[in-house]
Structure 1
Amino acid sequence: MHNAFVTGATGLLGNNLVRELVARGCQVKALVRSRAKGEQQFNNLPGVELVVGDMADVDAFAPALQGCDTVFHTAAFFRDNYKGGSHWKELEKINVAGTRRLLNQAYRAGIRRFIHTSSIAVLDGAPGTSIDETCLRADADADDYYRSKILADRVVLSFLEVHPDMHACMVLPGWMWGPADIGPTSSGQLVNDVVHGKLPGLIPGSFSIVDARDVALAQIAAVKHGRRGERYLAAGRHMTMRELVPLLGRIAGVKTPVRQLPLPLLYALAATQEIYARLTGKPILLSMATVRLMVREADRTHFNHCKSEQELGLRFRSLEQTIADTVAWYRDHDWFENHPAPPSEAKQA
């Protein structure tokens, strides 16, 4: 692998993947929707060429695929989770049809290695059970975003059936955290809301939390060691919100709520936040889709990583380190005005 093409390059996973690739001497073409945002994210990082384009129109940037040997597809549409509303048309166009078109254009460009970023959304299991890559979710049990990820996986597998010389596999992340989350994604939004005292109370639900840098390493390992057409979990550590928020507060040096919000109040808050999102265009932490997801997926976030550990050499850094690095990045980039680092963190810095 000498020349890689990364979609979604300014995203939380994408930007950390780009940095890992460059550190290994790889030349990277980074697909960005905004050149200004790409320049902000990579700050003229050597070895990175910005390609301005959008997964809604793959043909427009397809010529830039020439000369690459590997595609890392990290881009995805998930606006319903942080801006509310229903977005199936965009989900299908970008996550499903966009993946199909990207595979076709990559193949035409001579690329024969494709690492697809799937999701734990494609898996399902009974509450409290250990879920592995064989526990596939039924379409009927999927919301719009989950269904788009299920269909995108099928696009990849269908492509492999008719192109025997193409090598592709899928990496399935959990809820990603980490530095350089300029979006921010839902994890970065939670960090900012907790530090700024905007979290009204604890919300229910359990999650599988993973460092985006560890997912990036899993994707790089999948190029060399991943088996064709296989799924590889990179979901991370099971944790409830009741455990996560106090830990985040201790690391950030802020007080956090102790009272759990009742479900009817959560739905009311989500409805209010969706109105706010439509009026301002700003991301929110709690959408109706998020509340429904928390209720449906409660305690369904125990994942078995044996396959990824054995075949990809996957390892996870500590959750405490991930949260500390995430908080430090936001603080270093002046997202936390009037919230200085606590003495312990300042000494470490």
Structure 2
Amino acid sequence: MRSTFVTGATGLLGNNLVRELVARGYAVKALVRSRSKGEQQFYDLPSVELVVGDMADVEAFAAALHGCDTVFHTAAFFRDNYKGGSHREQLEKVNVAGTQALLHQAYGAGIRRFVHTSSIAVLDGAPDSAIDETCLRAEADADDYYRSKIRAERVLLGFLETHPDLHACMVLPGWMWGPGDRGPTSSGQLVKDVVNGKLPGLIPGTFSVVDARDVAWALIAAAKHGRRGERYLAAGRNLTMAQLVPVLGRIAGVKTPVRRLPLPFLYALATVQEAYARLSGKPILLSMATLRLLIREEHRTCFNHRKSEQELGLSFRVLEQTIGDTLAWYREHGGFKP
């Protein structure tokens, strides 16, 4: 591995992956949807070559794949989870068809190593049971986003069947936190809402919280040591919101709510927030899709990382470090109210 191509480079994971690759001495081409946003994100990394493009039109940037030997595919469409509404067509276009197009164009450019960022969305298990890479989710039990991630994996595995000289594997992250979350993602929005005093109470659900920098490390390890066609979990630690929010408040130095919000109130709140999202175009903390997901997945986020630990050497930094670094990044970049 010498020259790499990273999709979704300005996202939380992509940004941290690009930085980790540069720190290790690899050449990086970074796919960005906006050159100005890419320049803002990587102003301190002049060696990174920005490639402007969109996963909805892979052919338009395919020429930039030439000269690379490894693709790290981190880009994904997931706006239904923080902007509300239905995005089934876009999810299929970007997450499924986009992955298929990227595989074809990368292979045609001579690339023979491909690491796909999948998701814990493709896994399922009984409440309070340990879930590993073999516990696959049925499409019938998936929402639109989860279904798109399942289908993207099938596209990859199908491509491997007909292209025996391509080495590809999958890394499955949990709920990612960390510095560089310009979006913000749902984790960044939660951090901002807690510190700015906008969280009205605790919502239900359990989560597998992971530092995006640890996921970036797992992607690189998978490129070097992962077995062809295999899944590797990088989901992090199992936590409830009642465990997570107080830690966030303690490190941030703010008071946090202790009362769990009742479900009827949450459904009403999600309805109002979706209307706000449609009018303002701004991200929200609780969409209807997120609420349904929280209820469905409660107590189903205890993941077994034995395979990733043994084959990739994966480990996770402590939660307090992740939260502290995330808070520090937002303070430095004006993410909180004065």
TM-score, normalisation: structure 2: 0.99
Give per-residue Cα distances to partners, 1:323-347, cap 9 Å, x unaligned: 0000010011121232xxxxxxxxx
1:1-349 correspondence to structure 2 within 5 Å: 1-338=1-338
SS in 1 for 2:242: helix
Give me the whole-angstrom Cα distance separating, in 2, the residues matched to 1:271 and 1:245: 23
Distance 1:319 1:276 in 2: 32
Partners of 2:334 and 2:10 in 1: CA distance: 19
Q: Secondary structure at the match of 2:222?
A: helix
Greater CA drift, 327-336 or 210-219: 327-336
Say which SS state the counterpart of residue 136 (structure 1) adopts.
coil
What 5-or-longer segments of structure 1 have no aligned partner?
A: 339-349
TM-superposed CA distance for 1:148, in Å, is: 0.1
Q: Over residues 279-327 of structure 1, what are the superposed CA-to-partner deviations in whole Å (9 max), with x where a residue is unaligned? A: 0000001000000000000000000000000000000000110000000
Distance in 1 of aligned mates of 2:226 and 2:335? 38
Counterpart code for 1:176: M
| Contact kept in structure 2, 1:73 and 1:117, CA below 8 Å | yes
Structure 2: tracts of 5 or more residues without a match: none
Displacement after TM superposition at 1:258 (Å):
1.0
Aligned mates of 2:111, 2:135 — CA distance in 1: 30
In the alignment, the residues of structure 2 paired with residue 333 and residue 280 of structure 1 have an alpha-carbon distance, to the nearest angstrom, of: 22
1:44 Cα deviation from its structure 2 partner: 4.4
* Mapped partners of 2:146, 2:29: distance in 1: 28
RMSD: 0.5
Deviations 1:66-93 (A, max 9, x none): 0000000000000000000000000000
Contact in 2 for aligned 1:26/1:47 (Cα 8 Å): no
Q: What one-letter code is carried by the residue in structure 1 that aligns with 2:3?
A: N
Separation of aligned partners in 2, 1:264 and 1:192:
24
| Partner SS state of residue 257, structure 1 | coil
SS state at 1:284 partner: coil
How far apart, CA to CA, are the structure 2 residues paired with 1:9 and 1:167?
22
Query: CA shift at 1:47, angstroms?
Result: 2.0
- Structure 2 residue aligned with 1:344: none
The DSSP-based 3-state class of the residue aligned with 2:170 is strand
- 1:345 aligns with none
Alpha-carbon distance in 2 for matches of 1:210, 1:251? 17
Letter in 2 for 1:306: R
Letter in 1 for 2:259: R
CA–CA separation in structure 2 for the residues paired with 1:321 and 1:248: 11
- How many Å separate the matches in 2 of 1:333 and 1:123? 35
After superposition, the C-alpha distances for 1:153-185 in whole angstroms (9 at most, x for unaligned) are 000000000000000000000000000100000
| 2: CA distance, partners of 1:168 / 1:264 | 45
